[in-house]
């Protein structure tokens, strides 16, 4: 029987250099804390994507609703079509706002601020690259030196 590494290859790459080098004097605790901040920002990015998905779904629902209203009218139900049109077509998803405005507000008041804070934190502690924590983890897991020196 062939071993799994023989069949699929080894994940270990001890000869590879570290993707991002840690500047001298930056502690493990600092790298870990910034890694956690980066992780939080990735969740914010994901939420932003979900919000864009929500926006797209709302738009699709509105256009499909308009098709349904037209079909009801053509099927001989103009009064019902008019009521539905009056009640739903173009309706705000929250009071005073359409879904695109939710996306814009999120971007302006939260996402862009979070992005800037994450970037500023990396710069203030030594102009660290993005994903330094993950780069060091990759190096360790692939068999590189634990201190990140290749």
100-114 pLDDT, tens digit each = 999 999 999 999 999
For residues 148 and 24, what is the distance between their CA atoms, to the nearest angstrom?
12
Q: Where are the beta strands (DSSP E) in 31-142?
A: none
**Quick one: DSSP state of residue 11?**
S
pTM of the model: 0.82
For residues 84 and 28, what is the distance between their CA atoms, to the nearest angstrom?
60
pLDDT tens digits for 31-41? Answer: 999 999 999 99
Q: Average pLDDT, stretch 55-69?
A: 98
Q: Average pLDDT, stretch 107-123?
A: 97
Within 13 A of 111's CA, how many CA atoms are on the CB side? 18
Which range (61-65, 87-91, 92-96, 144-148) has the least confidence?
Answer: 144-148
Query: Does the pLDDT value for residue 5 go beyond 60?
Result: yes
Query: Does the pLDDT value for residue 148 go beyond 70?
Result: no
* Contact indicator for 122, 128 with CB cutoff of 8 Å: yes
Give one DSSP letter per residue of 28-86, joined into a string.
HHHHHHHHHHHHHHHHHHHHHHHHHHHHHHHHHHHHHHHHHHHHHHHTT-HHHHHHHHH
């Amino acid at each position: 029987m062939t071993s799994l590494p023989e069949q699929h290859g080894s994940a270990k790459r001890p000869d590879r250099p570290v993707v991002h080098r840690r500047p001298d004097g930056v502690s493990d605790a600092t790298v870990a804390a910034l890694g956690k901040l980066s992780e939080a920002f990735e969740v914010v990015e994901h939420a932003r994507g979900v919000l864009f998905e929500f926006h797209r779904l709302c738009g699709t629902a509105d256009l499909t609703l308009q098709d349904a209203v037209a079909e009801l009218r053509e099927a001989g139900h103009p009064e019902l079509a008019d009521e539905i049109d009056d009640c739903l077509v173009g309706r705000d998803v929250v009071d005073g706002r359409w879904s695109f405005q939710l996306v814009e507000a999120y971007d302006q008041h939260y996402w862009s601020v979070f992005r800037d804070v994450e970037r500023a934190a990396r710069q203030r502690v030594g102009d660290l690259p993005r994903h330094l924590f993950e780069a060091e983890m990759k190096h360790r897991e692939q068999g590189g030196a634990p201190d990140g020196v290749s």
